[in-house]
Amino acid sequence: MSQPALWELPLHALHRLLASGAASAEEICAAFWDRATEQDPHLHAFLDLRSREAVLAEAAAVDRARAAGTALGPLAGLPVALKDNLSTAGWETTCASRILRGYRPPYDATVVARLREAGAVFLGKTNLDEFAMGSSTEHSAFGPTRNPWDLGRVPGGSSGGSAAAVAAGLCPAALGSDTGGSIRQPAALCGVVGLKPTYGRVSRYGLFAFASSLDQIGPFARDVADAATLLEAIAGPDPLDATSARLAVPDYSEALQADLSGLRIGAPRELFGEGVEEDVRASVAAAIDLLGELGANVSECSLPHAGYSLDVYYVIAPAEASSNLARYDGVRYGPRAAGADYVSQFAATRAEGFGPEVRRRIMLGTYALSAGYYDAYYDRAQRVRTLIRRDFAEAFERFDALVAPTSPTVAFPLGSRVEDPLAMYASDICSIPANLAGLPALSVPCGLSNGLPVGLQVIGPAFGEMTILRVGAAFEQASDFRGKRPPMAVLGG
């Protein structure tokens, strides 16, 4: 292979170029900005790409700091994209919803502030399913994102914009959010690394809430090492988020060793069940064999209640969403529809502002919380959630990590599930259990099925990011997926 283009490189390689003076931040950011400007019309990964001037001015500032002898962190001067449900001060944040069009928040999300402090240069805001509700990014009010491996297929969702952007080399890394699989599933479908940290590991302050007890912010990256670097930058206690864990952030990069000797890995049979495509199953089975070759001790196990995950999720998540989205009334921000009084204005604003999937979930959730139904739905779902948590706790007494497919299928054609909510919801059948239990889970590319990526999911115990990153890194080193690029990335170079 000849010298790779800058946009083909992961963060750690770019950082080395910067540190050695072989490339400037300005050159690197320009390469990605140009690439994004050229390629994004095919993908629609970005809802907003910042101006070249603004991006390069920030990059130049980092170059000057480096020239002045300032020690630079691993993200300094490097471009990162943000899912458009992260609050950015003075920069429009829409959640891909008409109801937030034109809304410029007055404050930065904690993760945004932390990346800024680390010197990252924000390239743009990426597309998502409206309010992160979806598994294909087709529910964006501003049009779908396409999968760089096959422009006729979805990138997954809801963080499809971030996944597609990283896969196509429009940016080396991005942040997403994961409520039921919204980082891992698009990472799998786009052939990149995606990490959902433990609930509480990363502050949610400034993440526009979908389902507060499930939402978690995490990174998309080219490889596991970059995901570890990003996690280190954004993780840690935050006084502004009462659910953030008061736990110090370990040096995740330390975890990345090639050897898995002695590691006990379980494969929960419930996550290989109905709906998992044969090719996906085979690809994940091969990955598990490889883990064994790397020294891990892999055996089958069971999470007896995991089979109820989808049912539990589709009560709890819409219930919380129905409350979280009540604030969008057009009174304080966002477009306001005309109405004779508050109630009619409120109703019209929401009818015009929310798309059908968001409306569906608000109705589902409102119903589940209603007097007379609360016990039968919300309360019961919480009880089953406790059982699922317990299943995981028991499994982690015997195993250091669990593995499963990230998504039951590879990327599906655009439009194929939009009219069939249940089929769409089934996309997250393998990823939802980790959200319900609040556990960290990583998706690492593990193969191709008919030219489309398959993801291996590695689930860890609470705050066991070190372990799953170690498994992911070792697997990635040994896997033959390394170096595979979506065809558009190869051609588009």
Partner 1 sequence: MSDFEPVIGLEVHVELRTRSKMFCGCSADFGAPPNTHVCPVCLGLPGALPVVNRQAVVYAMRAALALHGDIAEETRFDRKNYHYPDLPKGYQISQYQHPISTGGHLDVHRPDGSVLQVRIRRLHMEEDTGKSLHEGVPAGQSGVDFNRCGVPLIEIVMEADVHSPEDARLTLQTLRTIILYTGVSDVRMEEGSLRCDANVSLRPAGTTAFGTLVEVKNMNSFRSVQRALEFEVRRQGAALEAGERIARETRHWDERRGITFSSRSKEEADDYRYFPEPDLGALRVERAWVAAVAATLPELPEARQQRYVASGLTGYDAGVLVEDPPLGDFFDAIAGVPARSACSWLTVELLGRLNARGESITATRVTPEALSALIRLVEGGTISAKIGKDVLDAMVADGGDPEAIVKARGLTQISDEGALADEVRKVLAAHASVVEDFRSGKGKAFGFLVGQVMKATRGQANPSLVNSLLRKELGS
Active site residue 182: yes
User: Binding to partner 1 by residue 133, rule CB under 8 A?
Assistant: no
With respect to partner 1, which residue has the nearer C-beta, 107 or 142? 107
Q: Of these residues, 136, 158, 162, 427, which one is catalytic?
A: 158
- Single out the residue of 20, 41, 51, 106 in contact with partner 1 (rule: CB under 8 A): 106
Q: Is 368 exposed, middle or buried (0-12, 13-18, 19+ CB in 10 A)?
A: buried
- Single out the residue of 1, 68, 71, 242 in contact with partner 1 (rule: CB under 8 A): 242
Structure letter (DSSP) for residue 493? -
Q: Distances from the Cα of 476 to the Cαs of 148, 404, 437, 479, in angstroms?
A: 21, 16, 26, 5
User: 147 in the Ramachandran plot: left (φ > 0), alpha (ψ -120 to 50) or beta?
Assistant: beta
Active site residue 407: no
CB of 214 vs partner 1, minimal distance in Å:
8
Closest CA to 185 of 441, 373, 479, 493: 441
User: Binding to partner 1 by residue 102, rule CB under 8 A?
Assistant: no
Segment interacting with partner 1, rule: CB under 8 A, options 198-206, 250-258, 397-405, 466-474: 198-206
Contacts of 256 (CB under 8 A, 6+ apart): 224, 225, 228, 469, 470, 473
With respect to partner 1, which residue has the nearer C-beta, 106 or 262? 106
Query: 205 and 240 in contact (C-beta within 8 Å)?
Result: yes
CA dihedral 323, 329, 331, 337 (to 10 degrees): 180
With respect to partner 1, which residue has the nearer C-beta, 22 or 240? 240
User: Binding to partner 1 by residue 205, rule CB under 8 A?
Assistant: yes
Q: Of these residues, 140, 159, 162, 182, which one is catalytic?
A: 182
**Of residues 316-355, which lie at the interface with partner 1 (CB under 8 A)?**
319-320, 322-323, 325-327, 329, 331-333, 342-343, 346
SS3 (DSSP) at 239: coil
Here's the x/- map for partner 1, 49-88, by CB under 8 A: it reads as -------------------------------------xx-
First to last CA, the chain: 13
> In this structure, what are the phi and psi dihedrals at residue 88, rounded to the nearest 5 degrees?
-125, 120
Binding residue count for partner 1, defined by CB under 8 A? 44
With respect to partner 1, which residue has the nearer C-beta, 308 or 333? 333
Query: 147 and 166 in contact (C-beta within 8 Å)?
Result: no
SS3 (DSSP) at 404: strand
CB of 404 vs partner 1, minimal distance in Å:
26
With respect to partner 1, which residue has the nearer C-beta, 99 or 429? 99
Contacts of 224 (CB under 8 A, 6+ apart): 193, 256, 442, 444, 469, 472, 473, 476
Active site residue 416: no
Structure letter (DSSP) for residue 174? E
**Of residues 363-422, which lie at the interface with partner 1 (CB under 8 A)?**
366, 369-371, 374, 378
**Separation CA 64–CA 459 (nearest Å):** 41
**Of residues 353-372, which lie at the interface with partner 1 (CB under 8 A)?**
366, 369-371
- Single out the residue of 109, 173, 271, 471 in contact with partner 1 (rule: CB under 8 A): 109
Catalytic positions, written as ranges: 83, 158, 182
Give me the residues that bind partner 1 (CB under 8 A), please.
86-87, 93, 95, 100, 103, 105-107, 109, 204-209, 211-213, 239-243, 319-320, 322-323, 325-327, 329, 331-333, 342-343, 346, 366, 369-371, 374, 378
